[in-house]
Amino acid sequence: MFSNRRRDPAPLNADLHCHSTVSDGTLEPIELAQRAHAKGVQLWALTDHDELGGLERAAAAAAELGLPFIPGVEISVTWRHETLHIVGLRIDPTNDVLRAGLQQTRSGRTIRARAMAAQLAEAGIPDAFEGALNYVGNPDLIGRTHFARYIVEINRCDDVKEVFTKFLVAGKPGYVPMQWATLEEAVGWIHAAGGVAVIAHPGRYKLRDAELRELFVEFKAMGGEAIEVVTGSHSNDQFRRFASYAKEFGFLASRGSDFHGPEESRFDLGTLPHLPDSVVPVWHNW
Ligand code: AMP
Ligand code: MN
Ligand code: MN
Ligand code: MN
């Protein structure tokens, strides 16, 4: 279906996944727009976790810079035993169905954060709730990254990456499982808002190949359009592997750094490798 495409002579520098202080990024939406522009991004999306609050500022800043902007979101989903992230691109941020769904998704985060802090206190890290709050730009959206930054601040770990091996993950102190939105809900909200649904960083989930294929089949049946192929969370091998899944399952391919901040992210905005020639970019008809 997607074969015989000729190489795009000048592939677009699209970066369709990143985070601001409205979720767990360290830069304001306006700073991100400026950085994306400075790094040569030609098509940019802001995709905060379960939140749309940064989109207006991002859009205004991007417009001022002449940077084409796509409103986005990254929705937390529970599928079987795994937390998945579903990115919505080209969504209408004023859509009530999407707004209500995200509001519901955000609502358990504070209670969860209190429970995380209680576990961390038992593991010898007191006052983690207050410590994490110092890193929160949006009180509705306290998450694991904010705790991770606090644990680095008090020198219990060297960096955020290390925190996610010793704390905050299944089997370690500070892990509180969540029941997020269902896959069907997330895809439904994105579609209700006129957007395109994308499985974020599919290589990051602890799913066996057979389960991953079941996920792709289910997502496709729900009308899911795309998967991230080139993301900051994938290795070079995974760029190839997920390009081949995209072809096999008839998904469009997305590209996004998942940039969270200059100190924390493997790839800066706009610096990822381009999509392999074999896939169709999610933005091909925008
Ligand atoms: P939450 O939505 O509160 O469960 O937090 C999820 C966020 O934690 C992700 O979006 C990442 O920013 C961060 N995160 C999860 N796992 C890792 C990891 N292994 N290394 C660095 N950051 C991680
Ligand atoms: Mn994050
Ligand atoms: Mn994610
Ligand atoms: Mn992300």
User: Tens of pLDDT along 32-62?
Assistant: 999 999 999 999 999 999 999 999 999 999 9
**Would you state the pLDDT for residue 4?**
45
Residues 63 and 133 grouped into a single domain: no
- With a 6 Å cutoff on the Cβ, whether 144 touches ligand 1 is yes
**Tens digit of pLDDT for each residue in 238-280?**
999 999 999 999 999 999 999 999 999 999 999 999 999 999 9
Is residue 24 assigned to a domain? yes
Q: Which CATH number does the domain housing residue 252 bear?
A: 3.20.20.140
Q: Check if 58 has its Cβ closer than 6 Å to any atom of ligand 1.
A: no
Predicted confidence (pLDDT) at residue 7 exceeds the cutoff of 70 = no
Residues 200 and 83 in one domain: yes
Examine the domain organization and report whether 68 and 189 are in the same domain.
yes
Q: Is residue 77 part of a domain?
A: yes
- What is the spatial distance between Cα 57 and Cα 66, in angstroms, rounded to a whole number? 14
Q: Which of 149, 164, 258, 265 to mutate to test the pocket of ligand 1 (most atoms within 8 A of CB)?
A: 164
The stretch 125-137 carries a mean pLDDT of 98
Q: Is 260 touching ligand 1 by the criterion CB < 6 Å?
A: yes
User: Over 60: is that where the pLDDT of 2 sits?
Assistant: no
The answer to whether residue 229 is domain-embedded is yes
Write the residue with the smallest CA distance to atom 14 of ligand 1: 145
Residue 7 lies in a domain: no
User: What's the whole-number mean pLDDT along residues 223-236?
Assistant: 98
| Long-range contacts of residues 3-10, Cβ cutoff 8 Å, at least 24 apart | 3/278, 5/277, 5/278, 5/280, 7/277, 8/277
Residue 92 sits in the same domain as residue 129: no
Q: Is residue 151 part of a domain?
A: yes
Whether residue 81 is found in the same domain as residue 183: yes
Asked if 36 and 66 sit in the same domain, the reply is yes
| Closest atom of ligand 1 to CA, residue 264 | 21
Q: In terms of DSSP bridges, do strands 196-199 and 82-89 run parallel, antiparallel, or are they unpaired?
A: antiparallel
The confidence score (pLDDT) of residue 8 equals: 60
Pocket probe for ligand 1: among 47, 145, 150, 160, the residue whose CB has the most ligand atoms within 8 Å is 145
Is the Cβ atom of 258 under 6 angstroms away from ligand 1? Answer: no
Residue 123 and residue 143 in one domain: yes
Residue 151 lies in domain: 109-166
pLDDT in tens, 62-119: 999 999 999 999 999 999 999 999 999 999 999 999 999 999 999 999 999 999 999 9
Residue 265, domain member (yes or no): no
Instruction: Please provide residue 242's backbone torsions phi and psi, each rounded to the nearest 5 degrees.
Output: -80, -25
pLDDT score, position 3: 45
Q: Is the CB of 146 under 6 A from ligand 1?
A: no
Residue 156 lies in a domain: yes
CA of 267 from ligand 1 middle (Å) equals: 15
Chain mean pLDDT for the chain: 96
Q: Is residue 52 in a domain? A: yes
Q: Say if residues 222 and 189 touch (Cβ distance below 8 Å).
A: no
pLDDT at 122 over 90: yes
Atom of ligand 1 nearest to the CA of 142: 3
pLDDT value of residue 127: 98
Q: What is the pLDDT of residue 10?
A: 83
Same domain, 82 and 187: yes
- Test site for ligand 1: of 22, 24, 85, most ligand atoms within 8 A of the Cβ: 24
Average pLDDT over residues 6-14: 79
Residue 132: pLDDT band (50, 70, 90) is: very high
Q: Do residues 19 and 82 both lie within one domain? A: yes
pLDDT at position 39: 98
> Quick check: CB of 87 below 6 Å from ligand 1?
no
The protein residue with its alpha carbon nearest to ligand 1, atom 19, reads 164
Cβ of 76 less than 6 Å from ligand 1: yes
Domains in the chain, number: 2
Q: Is 174 in the pocket of ligand 1 (CB under 6 A)?
A: no
Claim to verify: residue 186 and residue 145 sit in the same structural domain: no
Q: Does residue 17 line the site of ligand 1, with CB under 6 A?
A: no
Same domain, yes or no, for 43 and 27? yes
Cα 33 from Cα 64, distance rounded (Å): 10
185 pLDDT more than 90: yes
- Flag whether pLDDT at 6 surpasses 60: no
Task: With residue 231 as reference, give the H or E element that holds it.
Answer: strand 226-231
Domain of residue 142, CATH code: 1.10.150.650
| Together in a domain, 100 and 189 | yes
Cβ contact 226:282 at 8 Å: yes
Q: From the CA of 146, which ligand is nearest?
A: 1
